[in-house]
């Protein structure tokens, strides 16, 4: 695929980014992809190439929407930060004050920030269930409220691949009255022109890229009971319904659909102390509060030493999002990512439809982000 035609915006000083993007295709690592960079919320690089469908007959273009899997968690985390900014909730507040049923099974003292930083011990369900139950929001929230933690809350982080979206989403719904998908659309996507969705209407489905799944599961390290519950049971992720049902559902941990520029501009809120296009989306200081380290150590689910903010993966120690330890973001299964660098007021995102085996450290976006920093 060395002759893949590259489209989009790339000023001469960012030629290393274009070269890195082309190399990802030339080496056979891509089918369709897009990378965008924003400074102060303004898109300064936007590259796309390849094909969007399995038959490789439909171009991956400016209208293509891509499932971004866990990169959706960055969006959910910003929505929680908005409630903190509005004074509707506080990071150090017990979840049970917002969602009383959550206090069951000894969870009364778990705080919002412990849930957001994967410390709540609710990474997955050890007991068998129908994987189609994930499409029933209230049923999953009832199970989470009744569940006993899988480890002592606050003692360690253990990544919550799917349950994170229901925990954060139910906290949001109890405090705001709307679902995260509705609030995203009404408060951010429509006002700022962001092509970004949690819960995709049928009218947009024809724009979706077909995902090319990786050939096998990523290496999770030692298969502990917690890792099995989070990732490896037959019911650890939604199944048993159509692809259209999956797109329609609102699962704020896993099924966002977006373009790279939409994610890059949204993350500019986090890079620019809460501001986008001159509008204060978050009160000054709240973005820093959201990104502040809550816990650091060997994660019980992901085989990495990770520092977590309130939903954001901090760059320290993993170096996924450029050279600055204060940068942060989130990555999604198979390669997508979105990040913010407050020191440079820079944000960016990468989306693609050929998924890799890497959990968070996919070399394709790393190469692009490193080239971007070289160009600054």
Catalytic residues, by residue number, are 70
Instruction: Check: CB of residue 69 under 8 Å from CB of residue 213.
Output: no
Residue from 149, 124, 364, 310 nearest 233 by CA: 124
Distance CA(40)–CA(330), nearest Å, equals 19
Instruction: Check: CB of residue 28 under 8 Å from CB of residue 313.
Output: no
Q: Phi, psi (5° rounding) for residue 375? A: -85, -15
Question: What's the residue count for the chain?
Answer: 376
In the structure encoding, which two tokens stand for residue 353, read together?
Answer: 């439809």
- The single-letter DSSP state of residue 3 is T
- The single-letter DSSP state of residue 133 is G
In the structure encoding, which two tokens stand for residue 117, read together?
Answer: 């930083």
Neighbours of 109 (CB within 10 A): 12
Burial (Cβ within 10 Å: 0-12, 13-18, ≥19) of residue 3: exposed
- The single-letter DSSP state of residue 188 is I
Return the H-helix or E-strand segment holding 37: strand 32-39
Distance CA(8)–CA(89), nearest Å, equals 41
Instruction: Check: CB of residue 333 under 8 Å from CB of residue 212.
Output: no
Strand positions, DSSP E, 116-261: 196-198, 256-258
Distance CA(186)–CA(183), nearest Å, equals 5
Residue from 229, 226, 96, 70 nearest 155 by CA: 226
DSSP assignment of 268-332, as one string?
HHHHTTTEETTEESS-TTHHHHHHS--EEEE-SSSSSEEEE-SSPEE-TTT--SSS-TT-EEEE-
DSSP assignment of 232-251, as one string?
ISTTSS--SS-HHHHHHS--
């Amino acid at each position: 695929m060395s002759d893949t035609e590259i489209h989009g915006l790339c000023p001469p000083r960012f030629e290393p980014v274009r070269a890195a993007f082309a190399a990802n295709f030339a080496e056979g690592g891509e089918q369709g992809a897009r990378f965008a960079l924003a400074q102060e919320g303004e898109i300064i690089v936007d590259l796309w190439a390849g094909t969007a469908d399995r038959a490789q007959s439909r171009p991956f273009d400016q209208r293509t929407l891509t499932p971004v899997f866990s990169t959706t968690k960055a969006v959910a985390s910003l929505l929680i930060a908005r409630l903190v900014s509005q004074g509707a909730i506080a990071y150090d507040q017990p979840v049970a004050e917002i969602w009383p049923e959550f206090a069951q099974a000894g969870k009364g003292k778990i705080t919002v920030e412990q849930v957001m930083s994967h410390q709540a011990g609710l990474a997955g369900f050890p007991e068998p269930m129908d994987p189609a139950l994930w499409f029933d929001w209230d049923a999953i929230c009832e199970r989470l409220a009744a569940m006993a933690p899988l480890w002592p809350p606050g003692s360690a982080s253990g990544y919550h691949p799917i349950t994170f979206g229901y925990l954060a989403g139910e906290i949001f719904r109890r405090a705001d009255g709307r679902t995260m998908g509705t609030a995203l659309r009404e408060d951010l996507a429509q006002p700022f022109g962001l092509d970004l969705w949690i819960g995709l209407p049928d009218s947009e489905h024809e724009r979706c890229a077909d995902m090319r799944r990786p050939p096998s599961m990523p290496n999770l390290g030692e298969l502990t009971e917690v890792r099995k519950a989070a990732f490896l049971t037959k019911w650890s992720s939604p199944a048993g319904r159509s692809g259209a049902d999956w797109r329609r559902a609102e699962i704020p941990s896993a099924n966002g659909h977006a373009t790279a520029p939409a994610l890059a501009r949204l993350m500019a809120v986090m890079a620019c102390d809460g501001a986008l296009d001159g509008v204060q989306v978050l009160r000054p200081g709240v973005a820093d509060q959201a990104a502040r380290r809550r816990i650091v150590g060997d994660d019980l689910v992901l085989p990495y030493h990770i520092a977590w903010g309130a939903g954001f993966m901090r760059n320290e120690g993993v170096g996924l999002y450029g050279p600055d330890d204060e940068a942060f973001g989130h990555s999604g299964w198979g390669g997508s990512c979105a990040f913010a660098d407050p020191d440079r007021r820079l944000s960016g995102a990468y989306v693609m439809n050929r998924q890799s085996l890497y959990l968070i450290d996919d070399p394709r976006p790393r190469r692009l982000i490193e080239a971007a920093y070289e160009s600054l």
